[in-house]
Structure 1
Amino acid sequence: MPARKMPEALPLQERKQPIDKNAIDVEGRTVTLVFTTGATVRRRRYVGWDSVVPFDETLTVSRDAIDLSRMNAGAPVLDSHATYTTFSQVGVVERAWIEGKEGKALIRFPKAGIDESADRMFAMVADEIIKNVSVGYSIDKVRIVEAEKKGQVEQHIVERWTPYEVSFVTINADPNAQVRAAETAATYLLEIDVPVISHEPARARVRISELYGI
C-alpha cells in the first residue's frame, strides 16, 4: 500500500486537562498545571469532500517526544485559544517539564492591576470557577497503524510534537472533544510512518502548512 497523501494543511491540535486546585499560588499569582497526559483521543480525517474517517490519536509523553523549546521560551497563556490579539494573553509559561508520563508547566499571571482580563482570569481560577486548561500543539512525527478488522479504527501514534500555547477553557465534559482552528501561520516538516504491503514501515517527509488554533 503506498504512503497516504496528506492534506496540504493540518490544524494545530488542542487537548483539555483539569487544573489541580492545590497548585494555585494566590500570593505569587502562579499556577502549576498538567498540560498533557498523552491520553488517546478520537479524531476525524476527511477523504474527498464528503467522507469522514475516524481515528484514535495518542500523544507520546517523554523528553524525547515533546519539544519544549517554545514552552520554555515563554509560551503564551491564552483565553480559549484566541490568537488574534495580545489582549487574549492572560499569562506566560515560566517553565515546562516532563514528570513521569505527564507534561507540566508553571504559569505566571501579571501583577494585579496591570490587565483587567488577566485579573479576572486569575480570580476565576483561584476561586476554582475556571478549572480546565487546554494545550495547543503541532504534530512533528506520527506513526499510522491501519485498522485490521471491521469496527477498528486507525491508530495515530504521535512520536514527536511541539506544544505552542496553554489556554484556559470552559467546557471539559467530553475529553474526546477537539477544538478546530483555521489561521495559517507557518510551515514545518511532518514525518509520517505508514505500513506497506510487506508490513515494513515506509517513511514520508512532507511539508505542510501549520494552522494556529483559536
Structure 2
Amino acid sequence: MPEALPLQERKQPIDKNAIDVEGRTVTLVFTTGATVRRRRYVGWDSVVPFDETLVVSRDAIDLSRMNAGAPVLDSHATYTTFSQVGVVERAWIEGKEGKALIRFPKAGIDKDADRMFAMVADEIIKNVSVGYSIDKVRIVEAEKKGQVEQHIVERWTPYEVSFVTINADPNAQVRAAETAATYLLEIDAPVTLSDPDLNAVRRIRMMQQQRQAGIGR
C-alpha cells in the first residue's frame, strides 16, 4: 500500500454553553463526519475534485492519541511547545459525533493560553479544527457525468485539536499540506502504477523533498 497523504484538518464550531469559566474547560464536538469537498492531482497540472466522508463510530475512530493527552494548539502550529494552549482530558463518541473535553492551564501559567481561553470564553474565537490521519479509505468511483469520486474514510486517527479563525464551512476545508509527516494508509480499491492517486502521492513526496532541500521557498 502507498504511504498516506499528510495530516488532514476539519473544522467545527464551539457551543457557547460548553464553556466552564471557573474550571477553564471546554467541551466540544471535534467531528460530525460531514462530507467535504477535496481535490487531488492527476498528473502534474490537473486537479480533480472528490468528496471525503469520515465514518464516525467507535470502530472507525482511533481515540488512543486523544485519550493519551493530545495537544490543543493554536492554528495547527506544531513546530514549538509555545503553540500548545491546552490538553485533551477525554475524548469519546456520542451518537454520530466525536466529542472532547479540553482543559486550559491555570491562569497565569501561560499568557498565550490565558489569551486563548479569554477569547473562547468571550465567544470571539468560535471554531475548532481537528488534525487527523487517514488509516483506511474506500473509494467509490463516479457513475454519472457531473458526479465526483467518493472517498469513505472507514478508519482514522485524530492527533490534535486546534483553535482556529477560519469559518466552519464544510466546503472551505483544506489539507495540511505543509507537514512532512506521512502515515500508513490502506486503500480499499484496485490500485495500479498508473492510478492517479499514486501520482498524487508521488507529487506530495516530491514537494516534501523540495521543502527539505530548500527548493521553491
Asked whether 1:207 is paired with 2:211, we answer yes
> Over residues 159-187 of structure 1, what are the superposed CA-to-partner deviations in whole Å (9 max), with x where a residue is unaligned?
00000000000021532223333455655
Q: Answer 1 or 2: which has greater strand percent.
A: 1
Assess, with a 3 A threshold, how the Cα gap between structure 1 residues 91 and 65 changes in structure 2: closer, same or farther.
Answer: same
Query: For 2:188 and 2:98, how far apart are their aligned partners in 1?
Result: 24
**Equivalent residue for 2:156, pick from 153, 161, 169:** 161
Deviation at 1:194, TM superposition (A): 1.5
Query: For 1:165 and 1:189, how far apart are their aligned partners in 2?
Result: 18
**Equivalent residue for 2:184, pick from 189, 192, 196:** 189
- SS state at 1:22 partner: helix
Map residues 1-214 of structure 1 onto 2, 5 A cutoff: 10-172=5-167, 174-182=169-177, 186-194=181-189
Deviation at 1:48, TM superposition (A): 1.1
Assess, with a 3 A threshold, how the Cα gap between structure 1 residues 109 and 132 changes in structure 2: closer, same or farther.
Answer: same
Deviation at 1:193, TM superposition (A): 1.1
Contact 1:145 1:156 (8 Å CA) reproduced: yes
Query: For 2:160 and 2:190, how far apart are their aligned partners in 1?
Result: 32
Query: For 1:115 and 1:105, how far apart are their aligned partners in 2?
Result: 22
> TM (normalized to structure 1)?
0.85
Query: For 1:58 and 1:174, how far apart are their aligned partners in 2?
Result: 15
Runs of 4 or more above 6 Å deviation: 196-201, 205-211
Which consecutive unaligned segments of at least 5 residues does structure 1 have?
Answer: 1-5
> Over residues 26-47 of structure 1, what are the superposed CA-to-partner deviations in whole Å (9 max), with x where a residue is unaligned?
0000000000000000000101
Query: For 1:120 and 1:31, how far apart are their aligned partners in 2?
Result: 15
Deviation at 1:189, TM superposition (A): 2.4
Contact 2:4 2:134 (8 Å CA) reproduced: no
Q: Answer 1 or 2: which has greater helix percent.
A: 2
Count how many residue pairs are aligned between Structure 1 and Structure 2: 205
Contact 2:6 2:176 (8 Å CA) reproduced: yes
Which consecutive unaligned segments of at least 5 residues does structure 2 have?
Answer: 197-208
Deviation at 1:24, TM superposition (A): 0.3
Contact 1:146 1:195 (8 Å CA) reproduced: no
> TM (normalized to structure 2)?
0.84
Assess, with a 3 A threshold, how the Cα gap between structure 1 residues 65 and 200 changes in structure 2: closer, same or farther.
Answer: farther
Assess, with a 3 A threshold, how the Cα gap between structure 1 residues 173 and 37 changes in structure 2: closer, same or farther.
Answer: closer
Deviation at 1:8, TM superposition (A): 5.4
